[in-house]
Structure 1
């Protein structure tokens, strides 16, 4: 500041870690004094800023030979033989390459040019393009069998004629998307939740929002209150399974086979519940949970693009009961008098033109737009939450690859054949009485699953997905590629429960969802009637980590 002219004043920030607007510290009649600065600093803990009035402070580093460093200890760099202060040498040695003569510089430059021009090139087996040997490793990290990598050019600050190239990967299939999301999970940290099994999804969403000390991008770990289960993967999948199902029933409405719209709720919107729902959807896809395949087509398109195509909306996209009934009454009106019976509701939907039979289509369109566009704030919150793991970017890159994860009709539900084909029984030696009994129990299991599948519509009977969730913690077919390849249900058989436990009436199958293992008590499953009764009770009452 020796050469600073034009005067200066001291300023200070009023909180906010220096991010708020600076205010001037007014000097006294004789200028700044220790007493005045101490009073302005509230105990000597404030940071003051020197603000010139007519000039700009020069903040460029001083040269190493500046007189201000004359009293500092100096050392010589081994590479360039230049002496400089120690604090500057610590930075200098990281970039110093030594001094070369002009002849050596030209000679080395020509050698490097010859090496670049004559370097061995390698053909990438995926994209069949040639790359230098020392660049093929970097290229392999961008070019994969699962992604189409294109290069986009963005303007560089160095000049208008130079451009920086950045790779943008486009997923080709649903497995590519899931593979990408799985690798975005931060497995070095944990996102722990302790929830009550009975109060999902509201308690789950509340605990998710309250977890400020950890990020939902970390590996999810779940503990159910009052249960001794330790989460090694099964509890997480069970929690995500119950949460996605509960979210569908609690926050969405509409016919399941056509997809659902978010329920209009200002309370949930103000509490940012829909943003948390978006995060849970992304976490479910990335960490082995079920896909939220219950959205209507127009909702999915909005999540991909952030915009609504108003011209593509129709009355089939309306899901709330009041609007559907109003559309039906307008559509079934035979004369203008019938239309006038609904005039208040029609006007509340934003329709301001004449209410006549000739304007019936316009009236219906006004109802459709009113019912759908008011849901945009909810969808915006969901989209914001789905930015977790970069899911929104993947959806925007290839909407078709992600469509089956959000729109119903593409995801196959588990059936009896799926469970039986993935069962891996540990039979006793073939030909023995134990082996024959064990095979009979597996046949009972197949009969039970097929019977459940045929009575899937009955409310008092468990469905096949419920049986699968009882066995493995999840009610869906595995989505992640690695889990799909290694999915097996191990079936063990207990022949000695009476010898261990004495005389008792009944034993239920023991399930280890973490290892996907089921142990059947052979001595209590002698007939199919006993098997069906015991299995039905076990599936109905054995959801927690305790013996039924």
Structure 2
């Protein structure tokens, strides 16, 4: 292989020293011709076939109307992974009147939830396989049914996760000692049992149990 390259690019006696057959300008011209030939014979037909496929499903029209959204589908680097900021920026808590004792407790739970997500991000290995460990995307999937961000801007603008707070679980079930957060994935709603989440550790324990064994606590 090396001998072939040498023969292709150099001439003369090896003992006296060989000289290049081509100048830098010649190489530039040859390279340009090779690239032009490759684009003409390989890339353009591939792009034409891609366009035909897109037109078959009217995706060309969609791309023309929503170029930014479609850009992420074709350009390497788009990351649809959910992080804590994405979840926290779409929360819609139903809070009690400002200044009330209930509102103070609800605010604490909001803080616990934020700390919980941040702790998961800090402790989650980057190369961990999906589904093996508790993670922020898994929390998202438990609450909403999907573990990725919304592609369309219109979907992101409409997306909310509703937080409700149950202050009366002991009145409903006087003899129980513990209950867990309940989610309704179809409405993106989660209800927290306030009485059982008096500090971060109790909040964390109940959340971990609810997410890990979430099928038992889902509400359709």
Q: CA offsets per residue over residues 37-72 of structure 1, 9 Å max, x none?
A: xxxxxxxxxxxxxxxxxxxxxxxxxxxxxxxxxxxx
Aligned-residue RMSD, C-alpha:
3.3
TM-score, normalised by the number of residues in structure 1: 0.28
- The Cα shift of 1:531 comes to 1.0
- Mapped to 2, the partners of 1:413 and 1:403 lie a distance apart of 17
- Mapped to 2, the partners of 1:478 and 1:525 lie a distance apart of 31
Question: Which residues of 2 match residues 528-539 of structure 1 at below 5 A?
Answer: 528-539=200-211
Structure 2 SS opposite 1:493: strand
Structure 2 SS opposite 1:306: helix
- Mapped to 1, the partners of 2:74 and 2:148 lie a distance apart of 14
Picking from 481, 497, 500, the partner of 2:169 is 497
Q: 1:519 to 1:407 in 2, by over 3 A?
A: same
Question: Which residues of 2 match residues 344-493 of structure 1 at below 5 A?
Answer: 389-391=57-59, 402-457=70-125, 458=128, 460-493=132-165
- The Cα shift of 1:431 comes to 1.8
* Greater relative contact order structure (CA < 8 Å, 6+ sep): 2
Picking from 196, 199, 202, the partner of 1:527 is 199
Which residue in the other structure is 1:79 paired with?
Answer: none
Which residue in the other structure is 2:33 paired with?
Answer: none
- Mapped to 2, the partners of 1:404 and 1:429 lie a distance apart of 42
Matched-pair contact (CA < 8 Å) for 1:452–1:461: no
Matched-pair contact (CA < 8 Å) for 1:455–1:461: no
Question: Which residues of 2 match residues 40-439 of structure 1 at below 5 A?
Answer: 305-306=48-49, 389-391=57-59, 402-439=70-107
Matched-pair contact (CA < 8 Å) for 1:405–1:411: no
- Structure 1 residue runs without a partner (length 5+): 1-300, 308-382
Structure 1 SS opposite 2:73: coil
Q: 1:388 to 1:463 in 2, by over 3 A?
A: farther
- Mapped to 2, the partners of 1:503 and 1:494 lie a distance apart of 16
Larger Rg: 1
Matched-pair contact (CA < 8 Å) for 1:416–1:453: yes
- Mapped to 1, the partners of 2:46 and 2:64 lie a distance apart of 8
Matched-pair contact (CA < 8 Å) for 2:183–2:217: no
- Mapped to 1, the partners of 2:107 and 2:142 lie a distance apart of 21
Q: 1:468 to 1:488 in 2, by over 3 A?
A: same
Structure 2 SS opposite 1:405: helix
Q: 1:451 to 1:387 in 2, by over 3 A?
A: farther
- Structure 2 residue runs without a partner (length 5+): 1-43
- Mapped to 2, the partners of 1:427 and 1:480 lie a distance apart of 29
- Mapped to 2, the partners of 1:480 and 1:516 lie a distance apart of 18
Matched-pair contact (CA < 8 Å) for 1:493–1:522: yes
Q: Does 1:509 align with 2:177?
A: no
Structure 1 SS opposite 2:92: strand
TM-score, normalised by the number of residues in structure 2: 0.65
Structure 1 SS opposite 2:183: strand
> How many residues are paired up?
171
Q: 1:404 to 1:544 in 2, by over 3 A?
A: farther
Q: Which is worse superposed, 404-413 or 532-541? A: 404-413
- The Cα shift of 1:544 comes to 7.5
More helix as a share of residues: 2
- Mapped to 2, the partners of 1:526 and 1:487 lie a distance apart of 29
Q: 1:524 to 1:400 in 2, by over 3 A?
A: closer
- The Cα shift of 1:306 comes to 2.8
| Runs of 4+ residues over 6 Å off in structure 1 | 395-401
Q: 1:468 to 1:504 in 2, by over 3 A?
A: same
Matched-pair contact (CA < 8 Å) for 2:144–2:188: yes
